[in-house]
Amino acid sequence: MNKEKPIAALFDFDGVVVDTEPQYSLFWDEKGKKYHPEIPEFGHHIKGQTLMQIYSQFFLQPEGLQSEITRELLDYETRMSFEFIPGVVDFMKELRLKGVKIAIVTSSNDQKMANAHRALPELKSMVDYIVTADKVSHSKPHPECFLLGAESVQVPVENCVVFEDSFHGIESGRRAGMKVIGLATTNPASSIEGKVSLVIPDFVDFNHEKMMAVLE
């Protein structure tokens, strides 16, 4: 850590800032049962991938299927509930008071985030920058998105802490050269221990001091 430079906290969105992962799992589990019954728990299988990655691996055929799923997903997202992960709002407020830069780094596209902003109008004022899938060329686990997040808030990578819940996201943060704190909201704590610097269930008992201890 460079003590002469600012600190940044880079948050994934789904499963880290908002508790939407169970809702996405329901949507994709239904698609899996219909088109890929050979893959159990399809929603968990594709967790952390962008829509384009999911399409290229599982929904290339028949023609028109991708457009159909996109329409259904967009409609589904307009009806989704966007509930904050416990403690994250107070934690972000504390980071603001401490002068920490905050960015959201998500695999979601701009249209999905527009739905989130409508449901959570306070979100924009909580963060300094939002990196979406539409702003990068490579998806997680490639480090591009987190590197862009750090660049956007003008903080060196060694001063960044990543908060992630997915395996792809954790790998992305590590490949970016950043410390990663894992949220056991989507995967059990035992499955991400050893891949991250610290595992937490949510942000209720977490604070700036504990985050800084990970950087030291």
| Its pTM surpasses 0.85 | yes
Cβ atoms of residues 215 and 209 within 8 Å: no
Q: Tell me phi and psi for residue 163, to 5 degrees.
A: -115, 115
Mean pLDDT over all residues of the chain? 94
Q: Answer with the one of 36, 55, 78 that is the final residue of a domain.
A: 78
Q: How many CB atoms lie within 10 A of CB 138?
A: 12
Cβ atoms of residues 48 and 116 within 8 Å: no
Per the domain annotation, does 1 fall within a domain? no
User: 119 and 71: one domain?
Assistant: no
What is the model's pLDDT at position 10?
98
User: 72 and 157: one domain?
Assistant: no
Q: Express each pLDDT in 18-32 by its tens digit.
A: 999 889 999 999 999
What angle do helix axes 110-119 and 65-78 make, rounded to 10 degrees? 20
Report whether pLDDT(48) > 80.
no
What is the model's pLDDT at position 50?
80
Per the domain annotation, does 143 fall within a domain? yes
Per the domain annotation, does 53 fall within a domain? yes
User: 113 and 173: one domain?
Assistant: yes
Report whether pLDDT(84) > 80.
yes
In DSSP notation, 71-95 reads: HHHHHHHHT----BPTTHHHHHHHH
Per the domain annotation, does 3 fall within a domain? no
Report whether pLDDT(53) > 90.
no
- Please tell me whether residue 153 adopts helix, strand or coil conformation: coil
Identify which has the larger pLDDT, 153 or 216.
153
Amino acid at 66: Q
Q: Express each pLDDT in 176-208 by its tens digit.
A: 999 999 999 989 999 999 999 999 999 999 999
What is the model's pLDDT at position 44?
87
Q: How confident is the model at residue 3 (pLDDT cuts 50, 70, 90)?
A: confident
User: 114 and 193: one domain?
Assistant: yes
User: 100 and 164: one domain?
Assistant: yes
- Number of domains within the chain: 2
Average pLDDT of span 81-107: 97
Domain that holds residue 72: 21-78
Q: How many CB atoms lie within 10 A of CB 209?
A: 9
The label of the residue with tokens 């589904």 reads 76
Cβ atoms of residues 139 and 52 within 8 Å: yes
User: 28 and 42: one domain?
Assistant: yes
The CATH number for 129's domain is 3.40.50.1000
Residue 206 DSSP label: -
Q: How confident is the model at residue 52 (pLDDT cuts 50, 70, 90)?
A: confident
User: 53 and 108: one domain?
Assistant: no
User: Encoding tokens for residue 21?
Assistant: 């992962």
User: 134 and 57: one domain?
Assistant: no
Q: Answer with the one of 78, 96, 113 that is the final residue of a domain.
A: 78
What are the strands of the beta sheet with 160-164, ordered from one edge? 129-131, 101-105, 8-11, 160-164, 179-183, 198-200
Q: Express each pLDDT in 117-155 by its tens digit.
A: 999 999 999 999 999 999 999 989 999 999 999 999 999
User: 32 and 73: one domain?
Assistant: yes
Cβ atoms of residues 40 and 143 within 8 Å: no
Per the domain annotation, does 91 fall within a domain? yes
Report whether pLDDT(105) > 90.
yes
